[in-house]
Amino acid sequence: MRISRVPDIQEIVEELSLRAGDVINNLRTSLDHLMWQLAQLQGPPRDPLRVKFRVCKTNGLSCTKPDYLGSQVWGQVHEFQPCKGVNGRADSWPGEYVHQAEQLAKLSNHDKHRNIVDIDPAVSGFSSIPTRLTLPPWIEVIDGEHIFAPGRLGDPDPDAEVIDLSRADHRLAVGAEVARVRAQLWGSVETIGFIGFARLHFTLPQLLPLLPTLQRLSLYCHEVLTAFTPDSAAGPSVGRPMVPTNGQR
């Protein structure tokens, strides 16, 4: 089953790209602004242009306290860094785990260098017209009537369609493969005409789901900012480790 026709959605893609880029850059800027405010606790920074939310990557090679932050404040900020371990996944993306701080920096840099975030519509599934000519085992014909037989729900169904998605490349493009269907009942007919609609969703680079990824990054930034919200005259509150949705640290 291949895609035979693609609607013109370029305007939608451009609009989503611009909006996603705004969200990503605003989130990263919010963390940079936080670092600027925390730096003021030690007085005006010697080099204001270097003040930013530094990312200690998972390899642990960049865990160096910046000179514009005090030791106690840096210890609090450090708790939210990738080198501290997994910080949960709020989305359903099955790819390799990427910490929110690293992911945010990567997407922001991508947006800066390419003007807008690349958003590619990808095929996530399809709906098709029925292709079988026989009845499943749990539907019996008795005296000309179709009777539901719940006791046969577990019986083998030799004529059921076998959907093979292993070769799908998930691209929304004419000729892109969506699925393979083993349908012997089609006989010698080599080409089937229109069979259904491909459902699509919009993704960030590397097929990251658009909305769940933005929500995941937004939650992370909210947790970081909340940890440093002044709740008394004493200054920033004590840093709280983020509590992931999946129970992992």
Task: Give Cβ neighbours of residue 188 (< 8 Å, ≥ 6 apart).
Answer: none
Task: Give Cβ neighbours of residue 187 (< 8 Å, ≥ 6 apart).
Answer: none
Q: Which of 222, 228, 241 is nearest to 38 (CA)?
A: 228
What is the pLDDT, as a whole number, of residue 217?
Answer: 93
The string of pLDDT tens digits covering residues 84-131 is: 888 877 666 667 788 899 999 988 887 665 656 778 888 777 776 666
What is the pLDDT, as a whole number, of residue 59?
Answer: 62
The string of pLDDT tens digits covering residues 5-52 is: 888 888 988 899 889 999 999 999 999 999 999 999 888 888 888 999
pLDDT, averaged across the chain: 79
**pTM of the full structure:** 0.70
In angstroms, how far apart are the furthest CA atoms of the chain? 91
- Are the C-beta atoms of residues 69 and 77 closer than 8 Å to each other? yes
In 20-44, which positions are buried (b, 16+ CB within 10 angstroms) versus exposed (e)? bbebbbebbeebeebbeebbeeeee
Distance CA(54)–CA(52), nearest Å, equals 6
What is the pLDDT, as a whole number, of residue 245?
Answer: 37
What is the pLDDT, as a whole number, of residue 39?
Answer: 92
- Are the C-beta atoms of residues 110 and 28 closer than 8 Å to each other? no
